[in-house]
Structure 1
Amino acid sequence: MAELATLPLFWSLTQKKVVVAGGSDAAAWKAELIAASGAEVHLYAPRAGLGEALLDLLDRGAAHAGGRFIHHDEAWHEDIFADAALAIADCEEDYEAEAFFNAARAAGVPVNVIDKPAFCQFQFGSIVNRSPVVVAISTGGAAPILAQAIRRRIETLLPPAIKRWAMIAQAIRERVNAQLQPGAARRSFWERFVDRAFVDTPEEGVETRLVAEMGRLAMPRPAIGRVTIVGAGPGDAELLTLKAVRALQAADVILYDERISNDVLELARREAKRILVSQPNPSASGRPMAEDGARIAALAKAGKRVVRLQPGNPMATSVSLEEADWLERLGIAVELVAGVDADSGDAAGAAMAVRATDATPGRAHIASH
């Protein structure tokens, strides 16, 4: 796990009390966001000092059915923090910000003073809202404009239908967990679900069809694993093909050697088991080294999705092709995913790796996109 500037958390505020002090537009934006999360927002500011945004917000009410606003026609004071989950304030002067910060901390309430990082225990990120799918982006306060640019990119990538698919997933999750055991069958169901979510709009009766698919996957069947030999190129994670990233994120077990960088491993599924192995070499008889080859075969035969990460391009090395042939002779499905050649590592090489596709009869399937 690489270093984190801050810990990202998603915290339920439904029916929780949150204190917001100040009548400014900035305070209104934070109050609206908090109430949209289902909180009971207590606003402290003299009515004469309320800005138009806050007055409009009080008229409109909260977006969340469980959220609401309670306006207190007075300035904040030290007695307002009891039972609060969060405290937020917009303070013009540092002395007032420090006083609010200290009062909230003394009451044991996490505090944020808007636009004053020195008086913040937590931060607000830029948000992409497809609730119940929520994406938050933070730069640790270093570059808010960058977070906003990232948010705009993500907005274009997430189709509006993701919201409906997420609600369907929420509705059937308990049935999936009851019918499909943890492991390959359950993950296969959700992977197919996700593939649909990024392509289709959920049609009438989709839940019935999903339940039927669950029934088919729940039928006992022999464990069938597979091996994917993935080219990591020259070690730059940004040069991995999309196919390589998908393989890493679907893997149960990842075998790698000391030439693979941590940046590449960071792209793998968190739950995947990672095994450090020796560099692959053919034996005198033309087979892979017995120890690693036997380990890969045993994992695949146990139904695991195994990824063997190798630098460079496995399509261009006799060791990888020989390993693939050997595994296929054992009845194990093998796929080779092309990588940028380690001795080039340039943008042209990356483009060639993305475009090159081959599926030679009698040999492991080779993919590069």
Structure 2
Amino acid sequence: MRYFPLFIDTHAAQCLIVGAGEVAARKLELILKSEAKVTVVAPQMCSTVAGYQDHPSVTLIQRPFQAQDLENKTLVFVATSDSELNASIHDLAVQRDILVNVVDNTPLCQFITPSIIDRSPIVIALSSGGVAPVLLRYLRQKLESLIPSNIARLGAFSEKFREKVKSSLAGVTARRYFWEDVLDGDIAELVEKGQEEKADKKFLEALQGAQTEQKVDGQVYLVGAGPGDPDLLTFRALRLMQKADVVIYDRLVSPAILELVRRDAEKIYVGKAKSNHSLPQQDINALMVKEARKGNRVVRLKGGDPFIFGRGGEEIQELIKANIDFQVVPGITAASGASTYAGIPLTHRDHAQSVTFATGHLKDGTVNLNWPALAHANQTIVFYMGLTGLPVICEKLIEHGLSDSTPIALIQEATRDGQRVVTGTLSSINDNPQVATLEPPTLIIVGTVVSLHKELDWFSQTQ
């Protein structure tokens, strides 16, 4: 490695910038993110630099550079258009043992400014040594998307308790294991969400438990896994899946999404299919409580969104009764994913001004819905879990006023490689032989928006 990465304490640093064009302005803006005092020297100054004339950390000197400008300086940036002057200032700075950077002239740089991700007190610096700036920008964009914007809270939280942990736990290894548990767990999540009082309490409990080798209660995260395509997961869902000790997942969670779960996490399948519940709901509730009581980070991974026909409300009611901490992470619901990937807008000014979500399978196994409220023109109806009840759905909608020529679409395995879309009308769909080959998960969309499917079907053309 040619450039050794260092972080310079800027609390008392004095920085000199020679030049005051737009290139110099960018360096000025960068340095002002630190605590350094900055002097800018140049005969002419662009409007951006001139705008800092009243900044308490900036001194603007409008004249040509002089050698005495280097006195008591920690860093020097040279950004003039005069290459001979730049080289001369470089030589003078080196003679005085002052770190110097001549902008866009790597051979005359004793240091280079990296690409920075600033989440102070957490700061990440990236460098390619000036040889691959586009690749560096690409990597920075990737990291920016992966690192939570509020990670700074976690840095400040760690600083607050650093000495207490040091005095409470003997040995570097014990402290490292403890901090890893904290930063990977629910305490960190509370800090990032701004719930510091609750985080402080759990932290002190965890620290006491670490001293006595006792585990405190864990936390449950109800996470929406979306309709199936792993690219549709939220960043937060992915982060929690990779922190989990235990993952309790259902049948609608695709194998591709399960591949993203932390490798050494315990995975427990509790899927439900028609007339085949591998684990009753009350047992799932008890399982979540049991695993959290062991001190585990539990992710309850649910297809779609936990609060849209996902029994999320029932599950958190049980967690509240058991006094188990929880968080809910929304996901893209099947209606949104399926309609988008099938090229069927749920609303459209020419077709539907409202959309209704309904379940095609009630708790008692019937399809006894409020049909008069559903059977309205100019709205879209989305039925979850309605494949078995399809004949009843079509019959009741026609009976309560919808035209028998109303378009209907059945979408199987929405957003996945195996997605299938079967269309027809309320009167014809049940006679389509393709319907008999469909299997859950299949979503039903009813309304004239379905007529746009062939025109807007972008996903099947990309497969």
Superposed CA deviations along residues 163-182 of structure 1, whole A, max 9, x for unmatched, are: 11111111111111111122
How far apart, in 2, do the equivalents of 1:133 and 1:358 lie? 31
Relative to structure 1, the CA distance from residue 356 to residue 210 in structure 2 (aligned partners, 3 Å threshold; closer, same or farther) is: closer
**8 Å CA contact retained: 1:43, 1:72:** yes
| Alignment of structure 1 residues 16-95 onto 2, 5 Å | 16-46=13-43, 49-59=44-54, 61=55, 68-95=57-84
- 1:160 CA displacement: 1.3
Aligned to 1:96: 85
Q: C-alpha root-mean-square deviation of aligned residues, in Å?
A: 2.9
Are the aligned partners of 1:27 and 1:90 in contact in 2 as well (CA < 8 Å)?
A: yes
Contact 1:28/1:54 (8 A) holds in 2: yes
Q: 1:204 aligns with which of 172, 177, 196?
A: 196
For 1:156, the equivalent position in structure 2 comes to: 145
- Native 8 Å contact 2:16 2:77 kept in 1: yes
Shift, 1:15, TM fit: 2.1
Partner Cα separation in structure 2 for residue 31 and residue 92 of structure 1:
17
For 1:198 and 1:94, the matched residues in 2 are separated by: 52
CA contact (8 A) 2:45 2:62 kept: no
TM-superposed deviation, 1:14: 1.1
Distance 1:172 1:187 in 2: 13
1:1-369 matches, cutoff 5 A: 4-46=1-43, 49-59=44-54, 61=55, 68-196=57-185, 197=188, 200-205=192-197, 206-219=199-212
2:20–2:80 CA contact under 8 A, matched in 1: no
Structure 2 residue ranges without an equivalent (≥5): 215-258, 268-463
CA distance in 1, matches of 2:148, 2:263: 26
1 CA distance for matches of 2:50 and 2:24?
Answer: 11
* Partner SS state of residue 140, structure 2: helix
| Residue number in structure 2 paired with 1:283 | none
Q: Per the alignment, in what secondary structure is the counterpart of residue 70 of structure 1? A: strand
Deviation at 1:218, TM superposition (A): 1.8
Alignment check: 8 A CA contact 1:112 1:119 kept: yes
Give ranges in structure 1 of 5+ residues lacking alignment: 63-67, 222-350, 360-369
What amino acid maps onto 2:61 in structure 1?
A: H
The 3-state SS of whatever aligns with 1:84 is coil
Counterparts of 2:99 and 2:189, CA distance in 1: 37
**Could you say what secondary structure the match of 2:9 adopts?**
coil
AA aligned to 2:4 is: L
For 1:135-164, what per-residue CA distance to the aligned partner results, in whole angstroms no more than 9, with x for missing partners?
A: 111001101111111111100000112111
Greater length-normalized contact order (CA 8 Å, ≥ 6 residues apart): 1
User: How big is the shift at 1:355?
Assistant: 8.8
Deviation for aligned residue 1:356: 11
Deviation at 1:45, TM superposition (A): 1.6
Distance in 1, matches of 2:266 and 2:11, equals 53
Identity of aligned pairs, percent? Answer: 27
Range moving further from structure 2, 165-174 or 206-215: 206-215
8 Å CA contact 1:43, 1:71 repeated in 2 = yes
User: 1:355–1:161: structure 2 CA closer, same or farther, 3 Å change rule?
Assistant: closer
Q: How many Å apart are 1:102 and its aligned residue?
A: 0.4
Instruction: Report the Cα offset of residue 357 of structure 1.
Output: 9.4
Contact conserved, 1:84 with 1:109, CA < 8 A, in 2? yes
Q: For the structure 1 residues 358 and 36, does the alpha-carbon distance in structure 2 shift closer, same or farther, using more than 3 Å as the test? A: closer
Whether the aligned pair in 2 keeps the contact of 1:130 and 1:163 (CA below 8 Å) is yes
Distance 1:194 1:204, change over 3 A: closer
Alpha-carbon distance, 1:94 to partner: 1.9
Q: Aligned pair in 2 of structure 1 residues 183, 107: CA closer, same or farther (>3 Å)?
A: closer
Partner amino acid, structure 2, of 1:50: M
SS in 2 for 1:19: strand
* Whole-angstrom distance in 1 between the partners of 2:100 and 2:149: 33
Query: Is contact 1:112-1:123 (8 Å) kept?
Result: yes
1:41 counterpart letter in structure 2: V
TM-score normalised to structure 1 length: 0.55
TM-score w.r.t. length of structure 2: 0.44
**Contact persistence 1:126–1:147 (CA under 8 A):** yes
* Deviation at residue 32 of structure 1 after TM alignment: 2.0
CA contact (8 A) 1:159 1:198 kept: no
Q: CA deviation at 1:183?
A: 3.6
> 1 CA distance for matches of 2:68 and 2:165?
48
Residue 101 of structure 1 deviates from its aligned partner by: 0.3
Amino acid at match of 1:218: Q
Query: Max radius of gyration: which structure?
Result: 2
Cα deviations by residue, 1:97-152 (Å, 9 ceiling, x for unpaired): 11010011111101001111121111011111111111111001101111111111
Moved beyond 3 Å, runs of 4+? 196-200, 354-359
Matched pairs, number? 221
Secondary structure of the equivalent of 1:7?
Answer: coil
Q: Single out whichever of 175-184 and 35-44 deviates more from structure 2.
A: 175-184
